[in-house]
Structure 1
Amino acid sequence: MHGASREALAAARERLDALTDTPSVDAARLAEQLAAVTAFLDREVALRRVLTDPVQPGEARAELAGRLLAGQVDGPAVDLIRGMVRSRWSRSRDLVDAVEELAAVADLTAAEQTGALDGVEDELFRFGRIVQSSAGLRAALTDRAASVDAKSELLHRLLGGRAHPVTERLVVRLVARPRGRSLEGGLEAMSRLAAALRGRAVAVVTSAVPLTDGQKQRLGAALAKLYGRQMHMNLDVDPAVLGGISVRVGDEVIDGTIAERLAETSRRSVG
């Protein structure tokens, strides 16, 4: 998001944080209701254009949203959406993206409140790796001809009782409503949101063999010093790297693997 939409999302995040800090607000229920609003606005293209029309006064847009959602979702969700449509958005689609992000943050906050956020982060990463390594599973979860119910049932069989309920809910939403994203991309976005809740960034670390506890501690300290913030490290083992490690933080890759050194030597020889 850019410009007005980015500012509107930042303001909405502040309001969401205030809501989820209130003991009377159930963060998981709020997440479920915001996800329902996301699906509604995603379908109703004309409506979301009206709700983000800069020609209309912000309060008029908020009143319309309130009338539409009254009785459909609880007061906290209504108040949050009313505040969002009062803001200015660069594109109507940005409003839907923002509501979807807030739904994910609310669910992750529910996990944080019970001390389960680290486990959810790890589960999201591991499931992403499982999807990457299984062409059959990926095909089943992204098949446009398959019904949402069939995909949800498959995920329930895979994750039910094995993963945290927040992990399962987030994955089901990504599969049910991909909204133009790849499943892997959506899972990575969820991991970044989870890390950001604790002021951390995500580093994907790939090594030929599992790192020892000492190696993980030293690497975590080095990355925190390099990037100026704490890191949540998602650890992956890939024998193809031969030795050394590869670290990816966002779009930046620090590749110190033997495989990459051999490839670089080969490129130089050809050159």
Structure 2
Amino acid sequence: MASAIANRFAKALAELVARPNSGLTPEQAISQLAAFEALYRESPELKNVLLSPAVPGARKRAVVRRLADDRGIAPLIRKFLFVMIDHRRLNYLSAIRQAFEAVLDEKLGLVRVDVASAREIAGPQRERMIGELSKLTGRQVRANFAVDGTLLGGAAVRIGSVTYDGSVRGQLETLLRRLKAE
């Protein structure tokens, strides 16, 4: 049920952002929604106020309005948050943001890729890897790079539900499985 709710809200927001008069690019909308989500997630007091049935909706909207004004959150995102308050859906904020990013990626023809490596991949090496991943997928890539201390070397790449494990750890595990099978 949570994913159905998240998808419904995400698609609605994507349609609003796609309008010429929205005043936001998709990237700005993602950034602003993520900024509010981080604030919401990191402040137990804010979360308690916004989720409490004892706090009137008008008071919740006033709190969100003030926070949005202080952080320069666009009117469209603010109104979207108001709708979430009115429908008591703020507890789905993280899922909605993730679904919103997925909807926008699909509309823009992007594919999300997670790259975990033993050390940081930077500069030209990062650009080269993104280029190769774009060739592999046939689509423009939005890559998320992370350092994984459990890897000995190399990298593991996840595209959707498929993982390409080029890490030393992955190769050693494959070798171990083969040796056990013999």
- TM-score under structure 2 length normalisation: 0.58
Which residue in the other structure is 1:230 paired with? 140
- Residues 204 and 98 (structure 1 numbering): CA distance in 2 closer, same or farther, change over 3 Å? closer
Q: Structure 1 CA distance, aligned partners of 2:73 and 2:117?
A: 25
* Number of matched pairs: 163
Gaps of 5+ in 2: 174-182
* Alignment match of 2:65 (pick from 156, 159, 183): 156
Residue type matched to 2:92 in 1?
S
Gaps of 5+ in 1: 2-93, 266-271
Residue type matched to 2:54 in 1?
A
For the pair 1:170 / 2:80, whether they are aligned, the reply is yes
Deviations 1:181-206 (A, max 9, x none): 62211121122222223122345678
Which residue in the other structure is 2:105 paired with? 195
Of all paired residues, the percent bearing the same amino acid is 21
Q: Structure 2 CA distance, aligned partners of 1:159 and 1:176?
A: 17
Which residue in the other structure is 2:48 paired with? 139
- Residues 157 and 113 (structure 1 numbering): CA distance in 2 closer, same or farther, change over 3 Å? closer
Residue type matched to 2:108 in 1?
R
Decide whether the 8 Å contact of 1:201 with 1:230 is kept in 2: yes
For the pair 1:121 / 2:51, whether they are aligned, the reply is no
TM-superposed CA distance for 1:117, in Å, is 2.0
CA RMSD of aligned residues (A): 4.5
Q: Structure 2 CA distance, aligned partners of 1:163 and 1:220?
A: 31
Q: Structure 1 CA distance, aligned partners of 2:32 and 2:164?
A: 24
Which residue in the other structure is 2:131 paired with? 221
TM-superposed CA distance for 1:216, in Å, is 5.0
Decide whether the 8 Å contact of 2:111 with 2:140 is kept in 1: yes
Moved more, 140-149 or 207-216: 207-216
Which residue in the other structure is 1:106 paired with? 15
Q: How does 1:1-271 map to 2 (within 5 A)?
A: 100=9, 103-110=12-19, 114=23, 116-160=25-69, 162-179=72-89, 182-203=92-113, 212=122, 214=124, 217-233=127-143
- TM-score under structure 1 length normalisation: 0.43
